[in-house]
Structure 1
């Protein structure tokens, strides 16, 4: 009796090929977060060191990424996406609150996501800076996205009669500059204050720049 051949399932140890690849990719990103954000830093890390930390081979690395810069790029976007998700969730959960209280909570959600892990701060505000024109463009693009979010929220507050009617683009850009500078300096140990104190100061700056009323 001829035995039928079964179609290959592409599964190994109960996992599909796509699942295994996603897990490998995440292992590289987890290792990069540690090496770039807590260890020697992006510039002092090699592909070999990253592979050793991830417990994977260089062949597997080049199946996922072309260069270490690609890893840094993905990691930077991932950290920003986590923070953006926290902000969007906070905005949804603070609807109807007074303007000042609403945006204080929203910013604390952002700061809480970024500062939840000191490695995220280093990736966002230190390791990404000056790496290459490509990384500078990515960093500035994400900054522009944050500026636009603040500007749009400020204009929504104007329509509700909660804030002065003016152009908030410069105020939003000034605030993002303050966030980047102060959180960078705090993470580098140049600011003698707790994270709560830093966040409180940034919230005061935000409220002042946007000239909240009421």
Structure 2
């Protein structure tokens, strides 16, 4: 067998995948997802179309991978906060504040990635939208559990928070997209404070502006 035609090893393939993702990120940032073709990505990344399709089923799969990186970072950051034993007994206001600050720090670490994950995914096709809905359902379960905890602690009124949580997640996504479009003029701190305010308001808990 010609060594040049042999399949790439795991390490080489991982580097190739990262190169494709990094190149796609740069192109989408400058041209938008609609203006970024697979051919253009491959040419800029110096890979063949065949190599691209060995990693991704198509453009939508690549966009989902980029979205996943940001979404997973946000979820892992919040779970890390919940892993702190002090959070077990923390009041809802303090708990939500810590969760949101960790989430914002994680998902806004790279403003370009944030914009792709919150803006470019909009109307990018049914497959991408189904993927976004899956993440939305995960966050719905997460926030519903937080609401139930607040109710058990006597810090929130007992009611069904499911629809309120759906509306809350929509607001969070829109605020994040707005920040991504205007990150040069809007601080992460302002974004975090606004998200904290919305979540606590949904639960009927007054915001402690000193936090």
Same fold judged by TM-score > 0.5? yes
1:136 aligns with 2:129: yes
When the two chains are superposed, the root-mean-square deviation of aligned CA atoms in Å is 2.4
Structure 1: gaps (5+ residues): 1-9, 11-15
1:101 aligns with 2:91: no
Inter-CA distance 191–166: structure 2 relative to 1 (3 Å threshold)? farther
Q: Distance in 1 between matches of 2:185 and 2:51?
A: 43
Using the size of structure 1 for normalisation, the TM-score is 0.83
Q: Which of residues 52, 55, 60 is equivalent to 1:61?
A: 52
1:170 aligns with 2:183: no
Q: Distance in 2 between matches of 1:204 and 1:92?
A: 23
Residue 159 of structure 1, CA deviation: 2.2
Hey, what does 1:42 align to over in structure 2? 33
Q: Which of residues 145, 163, 181 is equivalent to 1:152?
A: 145
Q: Which of residues 73, 85, 93 is equivalent to 1:82?
A: 73
- What's the secondary structure of 2:155's corresponding residue? coil
Residue 118 of structure 1, CA deviation: 0.8
Q: Distance in 1 between matches of 2:92 and 2:56?
A: 44
Max Rg structure:
1
Preserved contact between residue 164 and residue 212 of structure 1 (Cα < 8 Å): no
Residue 82 of structure 1, CA deviation: 1.2
Using the size of structure 2 for normalisation, the TM-score is 0.84
Structure 2: gaps (5+ residues): none
- What's the secondary structure of 1:39's corresponding residue? helix
1 or 2, which has the higher helix percentage?
2
